[in-house]
């Protein structure tokens, strides 16, 4: 089970949102680079970064911070947030990202996802953010009319190398992930799945370990709020 501690960047700071709501955010004093250092010092190998400024603007706003993190620490970084063209994907790969996460742009334009997978083999992760079974787009501000499982069936053979499934209702709520829906996604998916949203305790991690076709889990707010100790969490990281 790969553990992906999370860093969400907004205005050059680490923040956490509740259910993706920009009006319901907590700013943390620590800088993204110092937070990454902390994860590295504890022995984590993977890192999940979301550029929230990028999600709002469609630009690679915090590219310099991500470059700084990949340059200083030997961490496998997956990065997402408003990536809408080949140029942005290329910039993140050149900056040292192991995986680039496509979300809204891939849902709105399946061909963009298909071409990205061809152009950047083994580099594209697909972020599926769902609310009540339907995919959400544009920084979770819009609910699409696409059912998560239907969309996945359509793009399953495109060559995505990783799938990140987030239940928006659980995100930042620390009420445990939606294991039931994640399992439905993992059963269909041709690539390994990462669970995201709602992790509240080490028990959630232990439960995730037993799921078929689940590669890892993202942990965010529970770390920042001190509900999960990094020393305890890193023991589950393999």
CATH number where 14 lies: 3.20.20.70
Query: Which domain, by its residues, includes 166?
Result: 2-234
Residue 196 and residue 171: Cα distance in Å, rounded?
7
How many CB atoms are located within 10 Å of the residue 72 CB?
A: 12
CA distances from 97 to 25, 61, 148, 197 (A): 26, 15, 26, 22
pLDDT of residue 8: 95
Answer yes or no: 8 catalytic. Answer: yes
pLDDT of residue 191: 98
Mean pLDDT split into 10-residue runs, the chain, 238 residues: 97 89 87 97 98 93 97 97 97 98 96 98 97 82 86 98 94 89 97 96 94 96 93 95
Q: Tell me the two tokens of residue 73.
A: 């620490």
Catalytic residue among 129, 171, 204, 237: 129
Answer yes or no: 129 catalytic. Answer: yes
Contact 151, 189 (CB under 8 A): no
Q: Tell me the two tokens of residue 189.
A: 């998916």
pTM of the model: 0.95
pLDDT of residue 39: 98
Domains of the chain: total: 1
Catalytic residue among 8, 167, 204, 237: 8
């Amino acid at each position: 089970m790969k553990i992906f501690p999370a860093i969400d960047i907004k205005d050059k700071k680490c923040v956490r949102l509740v259910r993706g709501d920009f009006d319901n955010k907590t700013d943390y004093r620590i800088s993204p680079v110092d937070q990454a250092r902390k994860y590295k010092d504890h022995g984590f190998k993977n890192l999940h970064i979301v550029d929230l400024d990028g999600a709002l603007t469609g630009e690679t706003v915090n590219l310099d911070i991500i470059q700084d993190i990949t340059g200083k620490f030997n961490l496998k970084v997956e990065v997402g947030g408003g990536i809408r063209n080949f140029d942005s994907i290329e910039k993140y790969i050149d900056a040292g990202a192991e995986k680039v996460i496509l979300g809204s742009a891939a849902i709105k334009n399946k061909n963009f996802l298909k071409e990205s997978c061809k152009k950047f083999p083994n580099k594209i992760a697909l972020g599926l953010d769902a609310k009540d079974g339907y995919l959400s787009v544009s920084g979770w501000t819009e609910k699409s009319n696409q059912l998560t499982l239907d969309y996945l069936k359509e793009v399953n053979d495109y060559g995505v190398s990783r799938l990140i499934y987030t239940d928006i209702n659980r995100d930042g709520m620390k009420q445990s992930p939606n294991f039931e829906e994640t399992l439905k996604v993992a059963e269909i998916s041709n690539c390994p799945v990462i669970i995201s949203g709602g992790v509240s305790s080490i028990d959630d991690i232990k439960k995730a370990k037993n799921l078929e076709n689940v590669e890892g889990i993202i942990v965010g707010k529970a770390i920042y709020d001190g509900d999960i100790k990094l020393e305890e969490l890193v023991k589950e990281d393999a």
